[in-house]
A and B are shown apart, each in its own frame.
Chain A
């Protein structure tokens, strides 16, 4: 297990190095000078050549590309992404300010969706083709197809504009009222993803010959369900690598929709201000989160199923379900 974990961590480090290079090169290859773009976004009209030159020197954009890449990646490894073009504050500081709100949002959404998805998925899997199975499948399909911001807009329309229960702009500083709509929006999207997955896994485990044999030996319903859940655990942990990118994407859109002061809004604002250090840093951080989630998922799967760590079995692709 230790050898597997080390191998997996090494390959994750290589992936991260790849992400780092990809992100930097793509932005370097994009036409348009970041200094001019940022200055124009800030000032509203084309800045003077002297101003652009000064800006460039200030942020080290006058150095050759390989030098910039090296110094940027060496600092990025220490999570130092330079200073924001907008206010000159270190990107790390701005990120540290925004991250708690985003973590709170995502953790609550994940918790909410798990609490609802596991019972719903299990109930649907126990009686495939039943009315509950068909209805829930339809509802979750709808939720799955709905873009998070469209769903959030509907919730805003009902609860903020019509019923006036919740504020039009969300902020965790307002307490529960300021948090409930973004959490519900993000959670409903994750719920759709999760419950489909739980249903597929549990139904497969319940329909297995081993389950039939156990049933023939007189296994009770509850015991059969426990066994099915345990057997699905490996596949279930693989879901983390699908869920995290989905949550990150949802977070960017939902935070923008609700003007929620988190990392997603920081990214959207950075994109608008053409704030290269902020955009690069946050893109890299999202890659870091995805890679960490997929390493975690793989390690848990391998711990649950020794065939994975010995390379006997190819890991299941989480998205296939």
Chain B
């Protein structure tokens, strides 16, 4: 069957890739220290965005977009574009870390539950049910309040609320594989339970969960942004997009240009993640049909 027009994972991945590259390069692209200094220590070649994301300069506050500051400055005179670029590091980093945690926990618990069956299976299903019963943002925000503010802790917490869907998928696959010929053979050959789980079942049970990874990433980015918007998660002065939007709330009248960049960046990131997920899902449907 011919691949339909919509199933283009590569194109869907470009948006995501672009943001990831910008996030990686942000410290090089946006910094006040020039790229090349001449002998007298003066700038010979400055960075394309020659402002540090956290540099406060009250003389330059509330500058509208224009030459010098392409996207303007906020009420502390910080460059919006520089903060946008550096903010990508928080969103992409937290999203990747959280979805990795979610996939790891979900696939291990799912494979365990599908393979072992019985009491372990019921326990994992119950845990899934319980974790899904509290909205992720509510749980993470509530917990983050009683923990020291930290990027890693926030990403970890988000990951620990997002593992349920991958656990369900891996569980269903493992349950099917439990009686598959090669698993029976390995069991008959005396493979230990851990080996059976990690070497024989998990590699085959993982793909459906991996295919949903882009969705998990998109959801994790949204939760992180919400957390930052509430003023939790990555502590200031880190330029996270959610926090930039919370700051922009107070500048509605004085600096409305602060709103669009982080808002659009978030939409683009989440949208490309979801598009990638759709494309992968469609590809795998076509592949199996």
State the A residues within 8 Å of B (CB).
11, 14-16, 18-19, 22-23, 26-27, 30-32, 34, 37, 141-142, 144-147, 149-150, 153-154, 156-157, 160-162, 168, 245-246, 248-249, 252-253, 256-257, 267-268, 271-272, 274, 276, 279-280, 282-283, 286-287, 290-291, 294, 317, 319
Mask: chain B, 112-135; 1 = CB below 8 Å from A; 0 = not: 000000000000001101111111
Contacts of A27 in B (CB 8 A): 142-143, 146
Report the nearest A residue to B160, measured CB to CB.
A26
Which of A154, A168, A274, A317 has a CB less than 8 Å from the CB of B145? A274
Mask: chain B, 143-169; 1 = CB below 8 Å from A; 0 = not: 111111000000000000000010010
Interface stretch among B57-65, B94-102, B222-230? B222-230
Q: Are B142 and A283 touching (Cβ within 8 A)?
A: yes
Q: Does B259 contact A (CB under 8 A)?
A: yes
Which of A157, A274, A286 has a CB less than 8 Å from the CB of B252? A157
Contacts of A274 in B (CB 8 A): 145-146
Check A245/B245 contact, CB under 8 A, given A154-B263, A157-B259, A271-B230: no
Q: Are A291 and B133 touching (Cβ within 8 A)?
A: yes
Interface stretch among B23-31, B67-75, B190-198, B266-274? B266-274
Q: Are B135 and A286 touching (Cβ within 8 A)?
A: yes
- Among A15, A150, A160, A282, the most chain B Cβ lie within 10 Å of the Cβ of A150
- Among B137, B146, B248, the most chain A Cβ lie within 10 Å of the Cβ of B146
Contacts of B249 in A (CB 8 A): 153, 156, 257
Contacts of B206 in A (CB 8 A): none
Q: Give the CA-CA distance A170 to B145 in the complex, in Å.
A: 26
Report the nearest A residue to B232, measured CB to CB.
A271
Q: Give the CA-CA distance A31 to B245 in the complex, in Å.
A: 29
Mask: chain B, 221-261; 1 = CB below 8 Å from A; 0 = not: 01001100111100000000010011011001100100110
Q: Are B230 and A317 touching (Cβ within 8 A)?
A: no
Q: Are A249 and B135 touching (Cβ within 8 A)?
A: yes
Q: Give the CA-CA distance A142 to B259 in the complex, in Å.
A: 17
| Min CB gap A107→B, angstroms | 18
Q: Give the CA-CA distance A190 to B123 in the complex, in Å.
A: 32
Q: Give the CA-CA distance A197 to B145 in the complex, in Å.
A: 35
Which of A30, A150, A168, A283 has a CB less than 8 Å from the CB of B267? A150
Mask: chain B, 12-46; 1 = CB below 8 Å from A; 0 = not: 00000000000000000000000000000000000
Q: Does B286 contact A (CB under 8 A)?
A: no
- Among A153, A161, A246, the most chain B Cβ lie within 10 Å of the Cβ of A153
User: Secondary structure at chain A's binding surface: helix, strand, loop or mixed?
Assistant: helix
Q: Give the CA-CA distance A273 to B274 in the complex, in Å.
A: 36
Contacts of A290 in B (CB 8 A): 132-135
Which of B135, B148, B248 has a CB less than 8 Å from the CB of A245? B135
Q: A16-B133, A27-B142, A153-B248 are in contact. List 20 more A-B contacts (CB 8 A).
A: A15-B129, A22-B134, A141-B275, A145-B270, A145-B271, A149-B225, A149-B245, A150-B259, A153-B252, A156-B252, A248-B135, A249-B137, A252-B226, A257-B249, A267-B138, A267-B142, A282-B138, A282-B142, A290-B132, A317-B168
Which of B126, B127, B259 has a CB less than 8 Å from the CB of A154? B259
- Among B136, B147, B249, the most chain A Cβ lie within 10 Å of the Cβ of B249
Contacts of B242 in A (CB 8 A): 147, 149
Report the nearest A residue to B130, measured CB to CB.
A18
Chain B interface residue bracket vs A: 35 or more
Q: Are B263 and A150 touching (Cβ within 8 A)?
A: yes
User: Secondary structure at chain B's binding surface: helix, strand, loop or mixed?
Assistant: helix
Q: List 10 A-B contacts (CB under 8 A).
A: A11-B129, A22-B134, A145-B267, A146-B270, A147-B222, A147-B226, A147-B245, A246-B135, A276-B146, A291-B133
Check A286/B226 contact, CB under 8 A, given A144-B274, A274-B145: no
Q: Are B142 and A147 touching (Cβ within 8 A)?
A: no
Q: Are B145 and A271 touching (Cβ within 8 A)?
A: yes
Q: Are A153 and B259 touching (Cβ within 8 A)?
A: yes
Q: Are A248 and B138 touching (Cβ within 8 A)?
A: yes
Q: Are B256 and A150 touching (Cβ within 8 A)?
A: no
Q: Give the CA-CA distance A279 to B271 in the complex, in Å.
A: 32
| Min CB gap B176→A, angstroms | 13
Q: Does B139 contact A (CB under 8 A)?
A: yes
Q: Are B138 and A253 touching (Cβ within 8 A)?
A: no
Contacts of B262 in A (CB 8 A): 150
- Among A18, A145, A160, the most chain B Cβ lie within 10 Å of the Cβ of A145
Q: Are B231 and A272 touching (Cβ within 8 A)?
A: yes
Q: Give the CA-CA distance A139 to B275 in the complex, in Å.
A: 13
Which of B126, B232, B270 has a CB less than 8 Å from the CB of A18? B126
Contacts of A272 in B (CB 8 A): 145, 231
| Min CB gap B185→A, angstroms | 29
